[in-house]
Amino acid sequence: MKTFSLPSEEPKGRPDFLSTLNEQQLKAVTHTDGPLLIVAGAGSGKTRVLTYRIAYLLQQYKAAPEQILALTFTNKAAREMKDRIQNLIGDKGKKLWMGTFHSIFSKILRFEADKIGYGADFTIYDSNDSQTVVKQILQELNFDPKEIKPKTIHNKISDSKNQLIQADTYQEKFVSSTLDDITARVYKIYNKRLKQSNSMDFDDLLVKPIELFQEHPDILEKYQDRFKYILIDEYQDTNHAQYKVTKMLADKYRNICVVGDDAQSIYSFRGADISNILNFKEDYENATQVPLEQNYRSTKAILQCADSIIKQNTKQLDKTLWTEQNYGERITVLENFDERDEANRVASHIQNLKMQQGYKNNEFAILYRTNYQSRVFEEALRRKDLTYQLVGGLSFYQRKEIKDVLAYLTLLVNPHDETNLLRIINEPSRGIGNKSIQDILKQARSEGRSMWSIIQHVEELDVYKPAKARVREFVNMIDRLRDNLENGESLVNVTKSILEQSGYMKALVEENSHESMMRRDNIIELQNAISYYSKGKAKPSLSAFLQEISLITDADKFDEDKPAITLMTVHASKGLEFPVVFIVGLEENLFPMGARDNFDVDIEEERRLFYVAITRAEQRLYFSHCRSRFKFGEETRQARSRFLDEVDAGVVQTETGATITQKKDRFENRSSGNSDYEVDYDWKQSHTKKTYKSPSATIQYDYEDGEDPFQVGTKVIHNKFGPGKIISRSGLGTDAKVVVFFKNRGQKKLMLRAAPLQVID
């Protein structure tokens, strides 16, 4: 084991960079011995504290750079911290072990892979690859993947791994349904299949180090000695496996510093356990707790709003955020007829703010609870010629043509990777039919060998003779390309050779369709990425490149400098900030998700998610909800989110500047349903003899003749859409709906009980 010696000089005096810290930040940075919990509220400068703490440890000669382990949840956060540290201490920052949990522990596993029966060039499977393996196993067990969803089975396996529940234990203790029994059977085969393919899934990157350390105490001690100081960002998002592996590493020196905010724990669906941060002081005796409460991001109004929400939760560490920023604008609540109206009005507000206040596109964010909500906003922004970027859509590296080329590249470093071998053995078509492939797989299963080891001796296989010749050509091509790579040919040239010798690029050119040309352009962009990766490296590693792209997250794809409005889920927005934020879809069963349909929903986590959304905003914040929304092709009434009843009424207003009406108890002792829906605004319109008023859920008419005039053919005027004519009507009483054709806005479907319509004489 390599040892690290510290410089013999005495620790330097107080470094200049400490003068920029507030009192609590300074306390956190200069606490160098023993466990430390930093409770960092939103916008309180936690990244600065982490980076300055590392710089201080090095400046005071507490550790060599190689003895510091800093773990983050995104590559973006790791890069930002590395850049800041290098600005403070120079090139010493390059030697730090800093990165995401998955990247750091995959690095350790590559060093120690042989100890647990893996090759150092193991493949990392993403969730799609894992689901492909699960689907194949289900088919082998004679289950229909259309009935037993591979994604469902994989999610259950993933949850089990993160809870450190092994396949045998799952079979013995966690089978309580038919689906559990199927999962247990698949789980065992799945693990064997990955091992046979020299592959690990994302969960293995956390589970396998624990197995490694438990089976080899000497290796654990080696890494305990290496990592004298451990720092963990976003500790509230750690799962059980992450908690376990870092606790094992910290047990010797106990110099573990965790930074997090329990109020921003929003990933329980991924296995995150909020008790890790809540119980930190019980896990580490004599731990010091330092709260960071000064917010540098948001106005007082936004912070007051956020505080009023999070104070509703019972499970939380004590802290109160404050700021020296000005009070700022009150939060504006937008009430809309439906999701299309919502998207149009948000787009209009953005356009107006750009024109009147000088905001730029990349200073806006539209945050929603689920990805499907993005479509109507994309359409509205396109209509107004507003540039946007969608975060969380189909990743570049998930496109079929990209995954195909990457599969070829993967086989050059790990030919035993069965999933990628199956993907491209006949892609593009080279005359190896499905029956021949199934015959090869059958033999591989019966002999307990990898598919690659079988096809290397294709002459001995009992398969269709022409297919046998094509398999031999394929094997020879892969062997030839592997030799070229091992003999020093550049990654760029090897990739070109793959595209030429496989016929992949030729097939796209010959197809000559718009789609095939787009795929061709994407492959060219992949070549650019490989070229960029190789630039400046003496010996660029294909294995390292494949690992790097396999660990890319949604947050890494976000470009904050791109001149575009950002559309993303609230989950994806964590860690980001924008001058202007629109939080849309604030309705029951949407945000909070499922709160009315599922009484077991964790309403406190949904509230934390809302808190995260609010605290992304720096200067202006908008809440938006709809009175109706199309679901499964049907228009349904929506109840506004309970969170709008919980916010401090003093900091929110309607578009007209009025105070919104709140009901604090509207969800107490009520069954599910939308009978308690309320309209927030009080519209009153007059036209000669007739008036219409809709102050709440009940519509009130006041007509001299006592008759309902909203019949087919009636001319009406809407305070937003202008004049129009009713062309159809359906429903009775408060459920009555009309379709109106507006001269300037086209056809709109409206609920009579809520629509501000007025009859025109």
Per-residue burial over 677-708, b if 16 or more Cβ lie within 10 Å, else e, is: bbbbbeeebeeeebebebeebebeeeeeeeee
- What is the number of H-type helices and E-type strands within the chain? 29, 25
Strand ranges for 486-604 from DSSP E = 565-569, 578-583
CA–CA gap between residue 143 and residue 72 (Å, rounded): 39
| Coil, helix or strand at residue 280 | helix
DSSP string, 439-488: HHHHHHHHHT--HHHHHTTGGGS-S-HHHHHHHHHHHHHHHHHHHHHHTT
* CB-based contact 17:88 (threshold 8 Å): yes
Active-site residue set: 46-47, 233-234, 264, 616
Cα distances from 458 to residues 418, 436, 690, in angstroms, run 16, 11, 87
CA–CA gap between residue 341 and residue 749 (Å, rounded): 11
CA–CA gap between residue 290 and residue 281 (Å, rounded): 12
Q: The tokens of 627 are what?
A: 């009175």
Kindly state the greatest CA–CA separation across the chain. 98
Q: Which residue, among 231, 223, 245, has the nearest Cα to 35 in the 3D structure?
A: 231
What is the 3-class SS of 309-367, one letter each residue? Answer: HHCCCCCCCCCCCECCCCCCCCEEEEEECCHHHHHHHHHHHHHHHHHHHCCCHHHEEEE
* CB-based contact 629:589 (threshold 8 Å): no
Whether the CA torsion 742, 744, 747, 753 is positive or negative: it is negative
* CB-based contact 596:672 (threshold 8 Å): yes
Beta bridge partners of 728: 739
Q: Which residues contact 758 (CB under 8 A, 6 or more apart)?
A: 685, 686, 687, 690, 692, 716, 717, 718, 719
φ, ψ for residue 612, nearest 5 deg: -60, -45
Known binding positions for ATP: 40-47
Helices (H), 634-715: 643-646
Cα-Cα end-to-end distance for the chain: 91
CA–CA gap between residue 45 and residue 454 (Å, rounded): 56
Known binding positions: 40-47
Whether the CA torsion 394, 400, 401, 404 is positive or negative: it is positive
Sheet with 36-40, strands from edge to edge, namely: 97-100, 68-72, 229-232, 256-260, 36-40, 288-292
Give residue 294's identity as a one-letter amino acid code: Q
